[in-house]
Structure 1
Amino acid sequence: MRENKLHSISDILRVVFPLVLVIFFTFLARVIFSPLLVPMEVDLHLSHTSAGSLFFFISLGYAPTMLCSGFVSGRITHYGAILLSATICGLALLLISFNSRLVGLQFGMFILGVGAGLYFPSGMATLTHLVEKEHWGKAIAFHEAGPNLGFVLAPIVAELGLSFSSWRGIVVSLGFACLVVAAIFALFGTGGRFLGEPPRFANVKLVCSRPSFWVIAIMLSFVAAASMGVYSILPVYLISERNMDPTLVNTVIGLSRLSGFFSLFFAGWLADRFGVELVMGCIYLASGFLTMLLGFASNGWLIFTVFLQPMVATSFFPVSVLALANTESSHTRDVAISLMVPFVYLFAGGIVPASMSAVGEYYKFDIGLMLMGVFILLSLLPLMFLRVRLS
């Protein structure tokens, strides 16, 4: 049965909040390992390359699970898939916390990716099913505040936790928190009690035949790399290469993500006001320039760039999701997300951090950051020749 649509802002916030809670904790479960990477390297005697591989294994579990998530939600509904996502993430964190070998950690990260991969298609299908289309920009921006809040709190949680516990204690606590959130969603979650759409060949062919799908996928991949990929290696870069104090680094990175928290809502408003294409293009160019600046800026300008870069990069996500929602029908929207996001995350959350960690070990991290910025700007050139409407 179709749920009643929500109209007022208070109704939208009320129904989206349980989803925000789930995506916040399942996202925090993945990004918490960025500020914990340095103590993990010391405790487990890991190289930069080995530590960076942990992010790759998360994405290796995340990508295929999201591709197949329609089969899961097609059996247990979107509500059941969201509940299962939070539960698996909690259990995976507990498994990671009790492992001391690299192979065991990599396996735990893979399971964590599997759990996280179940959420997004079902979360977005639930949200867009409940909220009227004219409010999608605001609702999606509020929903995306969950991941951005995870970015904000991860270094702060890590810094506070390490002052009285080890990295293992932090991971255990977060694992139990995910299980509690699963119980809360089971009791108070609204919507999503309808079956998902498995990625049938006809739907996949329809989605992949649209140029708009590929334009959004390419742009989202590179901006996600500027956000998530850079975030993953930024603490190691600032501490080991720029010789900054670890406490200062975690504090600065945590506070820097607050700017992105507010820019999410501003970007959603701008997209509703001025159109998706213009806002996406401006954010994309700025993300490329600021990512390059992270590599060669002096320490004074570097702190400023660390604050500004995530504010710009993270604001791209609600706009890109809005573009995808505008260009896909209700029957193919979750299929499009299931196809796009896995490859975006595999690239931005797995390949880019692992590659930049290898560059940092054998060369310097700043070279990787400058190259990332150049690639973002160059990728815009072929897209300029495509005449695609995204709104």
Structure 2
Amino acid sequence: MPSSTTTPSPSGSEAPFRKALPWVLFITSMFFLNQIARMLLSPLLVPLQDEFSLSHAATGGLLLFSAVGNALSIFCSGFVSSRMHHRRVIPLSVGCYGLALLMLSQAATATHLQIGFTLCGIAGGLYFPSGMAALGAVADRKHWGKSIAVHELAPNLAFILAPSMAEVAFLFTDWRGALQAMAALSLTGALLFLLFGRGGSFCGEPPGKNTLPALFRRGETWMFLALIGVAVAMEWAPFSVMTLFLVNSEGMSRADANTLIALTRLPTPLFALAGGWLTDVLGEKRILTYSFVGCSLSIMALAFAHGTLLAMVLFVQAALPPLMFPAIFKQFAVCFEPRERSLALSMTMPIVSLLAAGLIPAMIGLCGDLGSFGIGFFLLGVTGFLCLPVVYRFGARQAA
């Protein structure tokens, strides 16, 4: 484990968090645009399925195309950020996502949808390694937990707003107009950050024949990959197919399903903020154990719950994943040097994207075609329990 934990900073002294907060929020806003554009695709799956006469598996498979593009982009992000400052990569990602959404809005066939989803994934994948590098550069180490907690507000707010934005858009336009409106927001945000953004004014470590073997020989790399992979899967996969599940298995209307999904996500920003505080109070091992067990049980319960009980389970399932990420990324920031972080993320997150945002949602959709979305949810919950030994070693490694 590297002993150095310094970040690129113009001053060796530690600044109050309030001075870094505006820039943390600016970076978080870019993450929000990245995530809301991605998550808006999920509530649009039902009208896409109807218009293009797709099966459950084919509809869920669109997310696999997005995940493949995302994985390829994250892998290549190490090469991009080694030649371009992270501060430039961030608006590049958000702006390209806007252009990809414009192209997707013109789709006329299922093949066009697959190409559009792939391009969206490619555009979105560039953000995360550079976003995390920029985040670590604008705040001192003692404030990393709070910075990560604020940053994690972005996906949790996106989980809430994406279904609501889709339904509001449907009052005035169709799915094509919804994508075009999101594209305009993305392009505007990218331009603002390009002009006024701060953080990440340095390049990342380039992938190479010496750096990659050393990275994958480290136990911390594999522990991070396991923890972040399962955590993202338990957060993202149920959300991505939930509208399909509620409409096709529970008999809800699309509007009611999206409203319920949005309501169940309302507490998640508070849990994201609480995650940073609880990590400091309880420690990484304990908070990860509690959240992994609770989230696994709630996902497995989706296979059996109906009606009011299902709504209650959805609230629990949505609330617990945000508790995991501050603990995981705080340890990640300690384990890897600033210049290593974008490389480590660009090598591990493609695998996470393929599994959590592609293969697992597609698997749940296939289970739906076979007659039971619940089987897919149950299998996903089992993976959370399988990850508990890694959680234990993760905590033990940090304590050492």
Q: Place the TM-score, normalised by the shorter chain, in its bin.
A: over 0.9
Q: TM-score, normalised by structure 2?
A: 0.93
Number of residue pairs the alignment of both structures matches = 391
Aligned equivalent of 2:207, options 196, 199, 205 = 199
CA distance in 1, matches of 2:372, 2:351: 27
Amino acid at match of 2:263: L
Q: Is 2:39 the counterpart of 1:25?
A: no
Hey, what's the Cα distance between the residues in 1 that align with 2:203 and 2:326?
25
In structure 1, which of residues 213, 217, 220 is the aligned counterpart of residue 221 of structure 2?
213
Gaps of 5+ in 1: none
Distance in 1, matches of 2:331 and 2:304, equals 33
Q: Paired residue for 1:84?
A: 92
| 4+ residue runs over 4 A deviation | 381-388
Question: What corresponds to 2:46 in structure 1?
Answer: 38
Q: Return the alpha-carbon distance in structure 1 between the equivalents of residues 212 and 345 of structure 2.
A: 11
Q: Give the TM-score normalised by structure 1.
A: 0.95
Match of residue 295 from structure 2 = 287
Aligned partners of 1:90, 1:109: CA distance in 2, in Å?
12
1:239 to 223, 238, 247: 247
Residue in structure 1 matched with residue 10 of structure 2 by the alignment? 4
2:373 pairs with 1:365? yes
Aligned to 1:338: 346
Query: CA 1:279 to 1:387, structure 2 compared with 1: closer, same or farther past 3 Å?
Result: closer
Instruction: Output the CA distance in 2 between the equivalents of 1:178 and 1:127.
Output: 20
Q: Distance in 1 between matches of 2:324 and 2:21?
A: 21
What's the counterpart of residue 138 of structure 1? 146
Aligned CA RMSD, in angstroms, stands at: 1.8
Equivalent residue number for residue 352 of structure 1: 360
Displacement after TM superposition at 1:192 (Å):
1.6
Aligned to 2:4: none
> Does residue 114 of structure 1 match 2:140?
no
Equivalent-residue separation in structure 1 for 2:323 and 2:212 (angstroms): 28
Aligned to 1:326: 334
For residue 46 of structure 1, give the secondary structure of its aligned residue in structure 2.
coil
Q: Which moved more, 1:133-142 or 1:355-364?
A: 355-364
- Please name the residue that 2:188 is paired with: 180
Deviation at 1:142, TM superposition (A): 0.5
Cα shift at 1:330: 2.1
The correspondence of residues 245-284 of structure 1 with structure 2, limited to 5 A, is 245-284=253-292
Out of 102, 112, 135, the residue aligned to residue 104 of structure 1 is 112
What are the Cα deviations for residues 271-329 of structure 1, in whole angstroms up to 9, with x where unaligned?
12222122112211111111101111131111011111111012212221112112212
Match of 1:61 in 2: 69
Distance, in Å, in 2 between the alignment partners of 1:390 and 1:361 is 43
Equivalent residue letter for 1:88: C
| Cα distance between partner residues in 2 of 1:300 and 1:88 | 41
Structure 1 position 382, deviation (Å): 6.4
Percent of matched pairs sharing the same residue: 34
Q: CA deviation at 1:95?
A: 0.3
> Which residue is equivalent to 1:307?
315
